[in-house]
Amino acid sequence: MRRLIFLTLLLIIFSPFSSWAWYIKYYDVEIKVEPSSELKIVEKLVVDFEDENKHGIYRDIPLDFYDPSGKKHRIEIKDILVTNQNLNSYQTKISKHKNTLRIKIGDPNKLVNGTQFYIISYKVKYALYNLGPIDELYWNAIGTGWNVPIKNVTAKVILPFEDSSIQFTCYTGAFGRIDKNCKIKKEKQAILFTLTQPLSAHEGMTIAVGWKAGLIPIPEGPPWWKNPWIYTFLYIILFLSFMIWLWWTKGRDIGGKGAIQTQYFPPENLTPLEAGTLIDEKVDGRDIVAEIIDLARRGYLKIIEIEEPKFLFGKKINYILEQTKKFDTVIQNNPFDLQILSGIFEDKSRVKLSELNKKFYRFIPLIKKHVFSSLTSKGFFFKNPLNVRNKYTWLGAIVFIFTIWIMIGSQFLYSTLPFPILLSGLVTAFGLLIFGRFMPRKTSKGTEMLEYLKGYEEFITKVERDVIEKLFSPEKIPEVFEVTLPFAIVFGEGDKWAEAFESLFTKPPRWYEGTDSFSTVYFAHSLNNFTSQASQIFTTSPRSSSSGSGGGGFSGGGAGGGGGGSW
């Protein structure tokens, strides 16, 4: 009886709807699409602070978003008004921080509790976009940034026309999920989305509505050409000179011995994925597959080769990935390995490789981010290469936009366009993009590790069977083969490495199950096939013409969204 009472108290204490944890009872979003393509949005929130004393809530709205084709858009928000159910205005403070607009609601000199009603209305420009044959609204109606549960959600989209080409869908759950826990009802020009189960903290609902292109005008975005910029021919020389000096002093790798020595053992404290990334400063599909094979070697999953019938005749090879160990502390402290395993298995413990097609790609940006962060934190780079390259990419893009503006504006001042102005702008823009590729700078430790990896690659490339037998005892040979194999795959030398071990051992690794009798050459061939399939599957995304409303979206995608909290 005591245990039951104790468990009941724990449930009450940690329940998302406990008496001292506020939540949102009801969240209604109405989105009216104007004939001008502008959106009029009204959000109605019924918030229950219960016994907590709060000034109010804040609402965060991202200003940038990516459509399903990967194109970036920036919205404009104006005419913000916040009232209660009696249409009495709340005190609000509007601010912008980087990519987010914050609406802070409430009186700093007044506290409230219990049930509160908020109506947030605002207008949005440039939220609609074109995807070939369709125009689309892809809107994160309930953002995944809310850190409290939301019990009931409805969202309505009202279009300025009625057309049989309209398509629509919704996505729910945590960021990146593609669950569809909502009911959809269309009534003439309105589409109503109703959530079928409550949202936990950091879960959201994204809606997508598409229609035949051309029914309303879709502006490209804010007129970027309003910002002036002038180039001269002299600036080209100064700019290129400056960039060469900048690379020599800030981008050129330092240290190293200047000579490559053959290395016989894998590097310490460096995984195959990190090694492949350090070599060319890119995260390739092959690098990720090599890391998966190394994770299998470390006991976290098993790779099972299976045969499946082809569509008409014959058989094809597929693979099953089976989780064999829970995510322990080692994995929890290694974000990119954790992201890889989470991306493969999600809520399953066994999945076919083919089932990850056009799904796993969502996790690659985070994997890249974590790998470069890891290499930087280990002291191989002075600054995170992703951040360095992104900085130069943005600078190059900004200069390119200004150059186009000058090209157009100059036509109003001259009968012919001054060629040096156009040339200086283009050289500057592309110079930033090109130099930016070479600006990530390795530390002395990073340069020495790169030399070590090249020496290790040399050993793998030139290894012969008699060398293996001289270097390693018979009982160590299987372990050496397995430990080095992922690195050999990173270097593109998996076959060469396997050939050197032919007949040296006959027992297959515990983490791989094939369909034929084991030999190292057969095993390497199978892994090459696995690497080829997996590299393509992991990096394949839906066609760029796919849309959110046609099934190419996910929870947290699209414009809007964000979240909020209390203060």
pLDDT tens by residue, 68-92: 777 888 888 999 999 999 999 999 9
Please tell me the predicted confidence (pLDDT) of residue 223: 58
Task: Return mean pLDDT, the chain.
Answer: 81
> Rounded to an integer, what distance in angstroms lies between the CA atom of residue 424 and that of residue 233?
6
Q: Tell me the per-residue pLDDT of 240-282, one tens digit each, with 9 for 90 and over.
A: 778 888 778 777 777 767 778 888 888 888 899 999 888 888 8
Residue 415 pLDDT > 60? no
Cα Rg of the chain (Å, integer): 28
> Rounded to an integer, what distance in angstroms lies between the CA atom of residue 278 and that of residue 440?
11
- The pairing of strands 190-195 and 182-187 is antiparallel
Can you tell me the mean pLDDT for 133-160?
92
> Rounded to an integer, what distance in angstroms lies between the CA atom of residue 66 and that of residue 547?
11
Task: Determine how many CB atoms are found less than 10 A away from the CB of residue 483.
Answer: 16
What does the DSSP 8-state code read for residue 504?
A: T
> Rounded to an integer, what distance in angstroms lies between the CA atom of residue 408 and that of residue 410?
6
Q: Tell me the per-residue pLDDT of 455-494, one tens digit each, with 9 for 90 and over.
A: 888 888 888 877 888 888 888 888 888 888 889 888 888 8
Residue where the block lists tokens 């009534």 = 187
> Rounded to an integer, what distance in angstroms lies between the CA atom of residue 276 and that of residue 285?
10
Instruction: Pull the structure tokens for residue 339.
Output: 């992201």
Handedness of CA 14, 18, 22, 28 (dihedral sign): positive
Q: Which residue has the higher pLDDT, 152 or 325?
A: 152
> Rounded to an integer, what distance in angstroms lies between the CA atom of residue 137 and that of residue 62?
16
Of 142-156, 197-211, 250-264, 329-343, where does mean pLDDT reach its minimum?
250-264
> Rounded to an integer, what distance in angstroms lies between the CA atom of residue 307 and that of residue 309?
7
> Rounded to an integer, what distance in angstroms lies between the CA atom of residue 498 and that of residue 484?
10
Is the separation of the CB atoms in 135 and 210 below 8 Å? yes
> Rounded to an integer, what distance in angstroms lies between the CA atom of residue 423 and that of residue 142?
46
User: Cα–chain-centroid distance for residue 510?
Assistant: 33
Return the bridge partners of 307, or none.
317
> Rounded to an integer, what distance in angstroms lies between the CA atom of residue 127 and that of residue 495?
51
Please tell me the predicted confidence (pLDDT) of residue 4: 45
Q: Which residue has the higher pLDDT, 9 or 295?
A: 295
Nearby residues of 487 by Cβ (< 8 Å), 6 or more positions away: 266, 272, 275, 290, 456, 460
Q: Which secondary-structure segment (H or E) carries 7? A: helix 2-14
Is the separation of the CB atoms in 555 and 205 below 8 Å? yes
- The pairing of strands 23-33 and 150-158 is parallel
Percent of the chain surpassing pLDDT 90: 22
Q: Tell me the per-residue pLDDT of 481-527, one tens digit each, with 9 for 90 and over.
A: 888 888 988 888 887 887 778 777 778 788 888 777 777 777 777 77
Residue where the block lists tokens 């990530």 = 440
Please report, for residues 133, 174, 336, 358, 379, the alpha-carbon distance to residue 346 in angstroms, rounded to integers and kept in the order given: 34, 12, 14, 14, 32
For the residues of 168-195, what is the DSSP string, one character each?
A: EEEEEESTT--B--EEEEEETTEEEEEE
28-151-179-337 Cα dihedral, nearest 10 degrees? 120
Start-to-end Cα distance in the chain? 40
Rounded to the nearest 10 degrees, the angle between the axes of helix 272-280 and helix 444-462 is 110
> Rounded to an integer, what distance in angstroms lies between the CA atom of residue 537 and that of residue 435?
32
Alpha helices in 49-161 (DSSP H): none
> Rounded to an integer, what distance in angstroms lies between the CA atom of residue 295 and that of residue 289?
10
Is the separation of the CB atoms in 179 and 206 below 8 Å? no
Please tell me the predicted confidence (pLDDT) of residue 34: 94
> Rounded to an integer, what distance in angstroms lies between the CA atom of residue 48 and that of residue 44?
13
Which stretches does DSSP call E strand in 163-256?
Answer: 167-173, 182-187, 190-195, 204-212
Residue 411 pLDDT > 60? no
Q: Which residue type is seen at 511?
A: W
Nearby residues of 417 by Cβ (< 8 Å), 6 or more positions away: 407, 410, 411
> Rounded to an integer, what distance in angstroms lies between the CA atom of residue 63 and that of residue 137?
15
Residue 567 pLDDT > 60? yes
Residue 191 pLDDT > 70? yes
Please tell me the predicted confidence (pLDDT) of residue 557: 61
At 471, is the secondary structure helix, strand, or coil?
helix
